[in-house]
Structure 1
Amino acid sequence: MRGPDAPAKALDARALAALAANPGCRRRAILDGAGVDKTALADALGSPSAFGQSQFALTRGNAFEAKVKADGGAELLRLVRRHLDPGAEPADGATVPDLAAIGPEGRTARTALALREAAAGGAYGTGQGGAGGWVLLDHPMLALQVAGSPAFLEPDAVVVHPDGSWTVVEIKSFPMLDGSADPAKVGAAARQAAVYVLALEEVASRLDPAPRVRHDVLLVCPKDFSNLPTAAAVDVRKQRAVTARQLTRLTRIQDIADTLPEGTCFAPGLPAERLAAAVDAVPATYAPECLSACELAFHCRQRSRAADEVTTLGRAVRAELGALTTVEDVLSAARGDSGDPDDPAVAALRRAAALRAEALAAQGAVCP
């Protein structure tokens, strides 16, 4: 589907979090499942995306992460102990296993082995029955089944505590000012970390006894306007539950593919007309929130506006309007030209239209 010469684009935790936030969008599900580069696809469709990080932000983030993990992750482990496990032994001399392997499958297997040995207090621990020393897994690789296809995920770090429990660490380059950060950015980081927690629970479930995966993840950010790391514990239980439920609701990718015309292809090098027809053959569920989460948002918004869909006004408005799916349906119902008067949405629209007419009439009487 992505074309014979196009390499597959990996499905990361950020994309999974966005997909879980809009599980009804079959278009994103099939494109992500097929590994299509949606940025290149949007460019080919004539609706280039503004979504994503700048090169400057990526460079700054990589430099900050390297600083946090310097000296065998000493500062990172100090922050984990301070915010999540203050009663544990100091994290001096923690083990950092080598997770190098060939391909994502090999790295996933190597990560699972390192976690299993750490949980058992084997090569990486000093205690018995899962109680050992601190272990830091730098950029481990985890796998999660999504709509019948595997997704390989790479958290910034996973820490194994001396009691055998596991913690996900998210390192971000946005600052914490006076101990707090931008709520929108923290929320996005929490949703991303929740995906890692789900994948880590999959690994833990295969061990006996299963280690405890902590639902308090550690968010590490620059302190104020400096490059010094600070951290805060973020409870992702709510985000984890929502993400798990939404991922379960996703239609299997094969089921979506079976509904497409024979020979459907999303290769960016195809003629624009054929490419647009292929994309439009897959139903999309556009909402304004897609603008900050999907590379195809501008294309989908254009199509949604052309179809006069009320989803362009937001999910909350769409939910209130019930069976009224287009803006013309809404205006017609408000005017009294159509719609069931007993429908609560229609009754509310007509009441709003009457109040608006009264307000305009009163304004005209005061200001002729």
Structure 2
Amino acid sequence: MSASLASGPPPHLPTHPPTTALRQRLAELRGPTVAPQPLDARALAALAANPGCRRRALLDGAGVNKAVLANALGSPSGFGQSQFAFMRGNAFEAKVKADGGAELLRLLAPDRPEDAAVSTPDLSAAGPEGRAARTALALREATESDGWTFLDHPMLALEVAGSPVYLEPDAVVVAPDGRWTVIEIKSFPMIDAAADAAKVGAAARQSAVYVLALERVAARTTGASVHDRVLLVCPKDFSNLPTASVVDVRKQLSVTRRQLTRLTRIEEIAETLPEGTTFDPGLPKEELKEAVEQVEAAYAPECLAACELAFHCRGRSREAGAVETLGRSVRGELGGLRTVDAVLAAARGVAGDPDDPTVAALRRAAALRSEALGGAAC
């Protein structure tokens, strides 16, 4: 397992807290009686995967519960984990963290002497800000020591689009040489040492967010380095025994860092909204739809696996006949043709510049289709 030394804070991620005025504005957007929904690493990874979606950036930054909002709009998301899966995941995590993380350390460093001391600092503090500060202090103290340190559910801070986000990885281990490793525990199985590729990919994107947040702390800690490979711990085959795999997150880390810098600052989006705009789920459905439509979305089919508002945005995209409903790759191939009707008109030869390569390709494809179907028009 190799490590990459953090040489400085992630670029273009500011460290100043949001102003009181912005906090008040975001509270108005949520609704006067609605508690904020905190961002987690999974949501942040999904946000980074679609940085052009101003709607998600604002709703997540304001702490709007998108699942509740989707229900109020009449387009429930179907997101969430069953109670059984939730309980099973918690039981598995407790099992692998028992005895001060002894099993995790065995999986991470099988050559470590069994009698080697392990420090498990208390990370409790008041509020997420206090817990993040306590975690940073514990990481610095662990790096200065010459032993192993196991941090259970540390709290990390990262600023995204001008708003602070607090993240809680399953665990972080500090080695005697000052290396920090993120531990991600999942309840999906590894069968014959392999797990579902889509689930591993999602875990890698989530872990990359933790690594990015850790880099900020490491940049202020002498001798600290952060692994760009994380330890993914899952049940082995069909048992409840833990097994582990090292996952390289360098690609996900690079993409996440780049995408987060592209996010428009939340206050800039909020300033474009009419005074009094709110996403309070208690509003009548039509008023709520009007408020949501005030913020531009960037729908793509991939949103269905990552955003609670995807069904609502897909419906609106289909109503508008937007080519984005066909996928980002298709959208990229169609150039300036933005609607399905415009694409069909260009293919039929009733619209579009015949010298445009995209239009020419569409007409050629339509001719081939017509020939194959015996003259049937598209």
TM-score interval, smaller chain:
over 0.9
Paired AA for residue 29 in structure 1: A
Q: Distance in 1 between the 2:51 and 2:210 partners? A: 18
Paired AA for residue 235 in structure 1: D
Q: Distance in 1 between the 2:352 and 2:144 partners? A: 65
Say whether residues 1:17 and 2:31 are aligned partners.
Answer: no
Instruction: Choose the corresponding residue for 1:120, options 136, 141, 144.
Output: 144
Q: Distance in 1 between the 2:113 and 2:268 partners? A: 51
Q: Distance in 2 between the 1:190 and 1:92 partners? A: 30
Aligned residues of 2:40 and 2:168 also touching (Cα < 8 A): yes
Aligned residues of 2:172 and 2:181 also touching (Cα < 8 A): yes
Paired AA for residue 141 in structure 1: M
Instruction: Note closer, same or farther for the CA distance 1:241–1:90 as it changes in structure 2 (3 Å cut).
Output: farther
- Residue 300 of structure 2 corresponds to 287
Q: Distance in 1 between the 2:116 and 2:282 partners? A: 54
TM norm structure 1: 0.93
Aligned residues of 1:89 and 1:162 also touching (Cα < 8 A): no
Say whether residues 1:101 and 2:125 are aligned partners.
Answer: yes
Instruction: Choose the corresponding residue for 2:321, options 302, 305, 308.
Output: 308
Q: CA deviation at 1:316?
A: 1.0
Q: Deviations over 1:61-120 (max 9, x none)?
A: 1110000101111101100113xxx4x555743111100111100100000000011111
3-state secondary structure, aligned to 1:213: strand
Q: Deviations over 1:151-207 (max 9, x none)?
A: 000000000011111000100000000000000000000000000000000111112
Instruction: Choose the corresponding residue for 1:206, options 215, 220, 234.
Output: 220
Q: Distance in 2 between the 1:340 and 1:299 partners? A: 34
Q: Distance in 2 between the 1:55 and 1:349 partners? A: 49
Say whether residues 1:256 and 2:280 are aligned partners.
Answer: no
Say whether residues 1:269 and 2:282 are aligned partners.
Answer: yes
- Residue 191 of structure 1 corresponds to 205
Percent of matched pairs sharing the same residue: 72
> After superposition, where does 1:1-368 map in structure 2 within 5 Å?
1-82=29-110, 86=111, 89-90=113-114, 92-121=116-145, 132-209=146-223, 211-361=224-374
Unmatched tracts of structure 2, length 5 or more: 1-28
Paired AA for residue 146 in structure 1: V
Q: CA deviation at 1:52?
A: 2.3
Q: Distance in 2 between the 1:350 and 1:229 partners? A: 57
Aligned residues of 1:91 and 1:134 also touching (Cα < 8 A): no
- Residue 127 of structure 1 corresponds to none
3-state secondary structure, aligned to 1:206: coil
Paired AA for residue 45 in structure 1: L
Instruction: Note closer, same or farther for the CA distance 1:91–1:58 as it changes in structure 2 (3 Å cut).
Output: farther
TM norm structure 2: 0.90
Aligned residues of 1:81 and 1:91 also touching (Cα < 8 A): no
Q: CA deviation at 1:342?
A: 2.4
- Residue 124 of structure 1 corresponds to none
3-state secondary structure, aligned to 1:17: helix
Q: Distance in 2 between the 1:344 and 1:252 partners? A: 37
Paired AA for residue 75 in structure 1: E
Higher relative contact order, chain-length normalized (CA < 8 Å, sep 6+): 2
Aligned residues of 2:143 and 2:176 also touching (Cα < 8 A): no
Paired AA for residue 79 in structure 2: F
Aligned residues of 1:81 and 1:90 also touching (Cα < 8 A): no
Paired AA for residue 53 in structure 2: C
- Of 228-237 and 338-347, more deviation after overlay is shown by 338-347
Q: Distance in 2 between the 1:108 and 1:79 partners? A: 27
Instruction: Note closer, same or farther for the CA distance 1:212–1:91 as it changes in structure 2 (3 Å cut).
Output: farther
